[in-house]
Structure 1
Amino acid sequence: MKNNVRVVGVKLIPLILVSVLIYLVSALIYGMLFSAQWMAVSGDTPNTLAGEQGRMALSPIMPIMVPVGMGLLIKDRGITTLMASLRLGMVVGLLFLVVAQLYTYACGNERLGLLLIDSAPLMTNAMITGAVLGAMKAAE
């Protein structure tokens, strides 16, 4: 059966798949691989973060927004190959997502270690998005 259901002109199934992958990669990076390092650099503890659960309710929104936005870019630019989609993911990751994180570092009070740890999933997720949307021809 052909996937004809689309969101803003992009196939729904690839959008859902990449959203789940982004959520899982972020959970892996923050929950397992770099949890201790993130806590050490941020100065937070499980107790200090306990009152921040309200903000965490926003976390499912981010893995949806990146694929939708990149799907629109892929569609509007007429990108049809996996490599071009992956390259777009690298550009979006580095020049938009990481740069936005850099503003928090430069203009806020974020530590360099947090900039580096937080930039890793941003780049990874943008590249995963480009690869999955390109491989699944999500914008065709």
Structure 2
Amino acid sequence: MPRLSGVNLLGVLLAAIVMFFVGYIFYGMLFSSQWMTARGYTADLAKDANPAWMAGGFLIELVLAFGLGWVLKLKGAKGLAACVSTALMLAVVVAFPILAYDFVYGFYHYLPGLMVDWGHILVSLGLAGAVLSFFD
């Protein structure tokens, strides 16, 4: 399998796909109204959105999956439990505080929206860690 900095790129691709679909489930199916309220969006704005931005979203997932794979490699995490726990730790100590910036400094201090974002990151990174655990 091709590798970059020791990280299996097939694992990165599969982890990114899983993360992308978790985002679809969270923001497109389960919590779309809470997230739209948190951002101040309306249904009219949503229907006019350019779907090409989804490609940018997938690029973000690829970078996150690669970064997680790289951290797992540096840490020497092997096996499902070690990879998932490392991913969840990164979600709590890195991703959650970054997401909280928008909540604290933005115009919409809507806690349910922050919880949707945090839940998405927690589930996404946890599942990505699980996927990557199979690609040493």
Which TM bucket (shorter chain)? 0.7 to 0.9
Q: Does 1:33 align with 2:36?
A: no
TM-score by length of 1: 0.85
What is the SS of the residue equivalent to 2:14? helix
Match 1:21 to one of 12, 18, 22: 18
RMSD: 1.8
Alpha-carbon displacement from aligned partner over 1:36-88 (angstroms, at most 9, x marks no partner): 22223433113224565375552112111111001111111111121111110
- Alignment partner, residue 95 of structure 2: 97
Structure 1: gaps of 5 or more residues: none
Structure 2: gaps of 5 or more residues: none
Q: Distance in 2 between matches of 1:55 and 1:21?
A: 18
Deviation at 1:31, TM superposition (A): 0.6
Q: Distance in 2 between matches of 1:116 and 1:122?
A: 10
Q: Does 1:7 align with 2:7?
A: no
**Overall identity of the aligned pairs, in %:** 25
- Alignment partner, residue 123 of structure 1: 122
Match 1:63 to one of 48, 58, 61: 61
TM-score by length of 2: 0.87
Q: Distance in 1 between matches of 2:39 and 2:64?
A: 25
What is the SS of the residue equivalent to 1:84? helix
Q: How many residues align?
A: 134
Instruction: Report if the CA contact (8 A) 2:19-2:61 is conserved.
Output: yes
